[in-house]
Amino acid sequence: MNIPFLDNWRKRQGGTQGSGLAAAVEADPDGVAELLAECELLRVRAGQQGLELDDTPASLSALDQLPPRWREDPEELPWLGNDAGLYLGTVIVRTVAGASWDIWPSGRPVVRLISGREIDVVAAGLDWAMSGSPELSQVYAESAES
């Protein structure tokens, strides 16, 4: 996964892709959570359609209802899907008790629930951006039940 702000951070920290980010999550989980919550492209595109993303489950439902105009731009689609996944993860981490960010050895951020279950939110966001399924609100509801 290529997230420019994380790549720049890794270079400054001198770490490798997976271990540097994993160490950052251990050392400063709140700081990494804030970085992952930026989702700038998604927030801009949603704002252009009159939706302000407020990091709540209701905003996930509202995103699910937007016309998928981003599918018209194949270059932007994976970036928007990545942001959608990070936004989904942000909402889960901020609203589901015991949920937290974790990093797979590949460097991919996932959400770990208190049950130990890991949710690949980036994959869910990419699937949502490309096909509309699963809906972000559905992934959230399943994680909130765990």
Average model confidence (pLDDT) for the chain? Answer: 89
Rounded-to-integer distance, Cα 97 and Cα 42, Å: 25
For residue 42 the two structure tokens come to 């998604």
pLDDT at 11 over 80: no
| Residue 101 backbone dihedrals phi, psi, to 5 degrees | -75, 145
Q: For residue 25, what pLDDT is reported?
A: 78
| Radius of gyration (C-alpha) of the chain in whole angstroms | 15
Each residue's pLDDT tens digit, 96-129: 999 999 999 998 999 999 999 999 999 999 999 9
Q: What angle do CA 13, 17, 21 make, to 5 degrees?
A: 60
User: pLDDT at residue 77 above 60?
Assistant: yes
Q: What predicted TM-score, i.e. pTM, was given to this entire model?
A: 0.85
Question: In terms of pLDDT, which residue wins out, 65 or 5?
Answer: 65
Question: Which band of pLDDT confidence, cut at 50, 70 and 90, is reported for residue 27?
Answer: confident
Q: In 3D, which of 87, 77, 83 has the Cα closest to residue 131?
A: 77
What's the burial of 116, exposed, middle or buried (CB within 10 Å: 0-12/13-18/19+)? exposed
- pLDDT beyond 70 at 19: no
pLDDT top residue among 27 and 94? 94
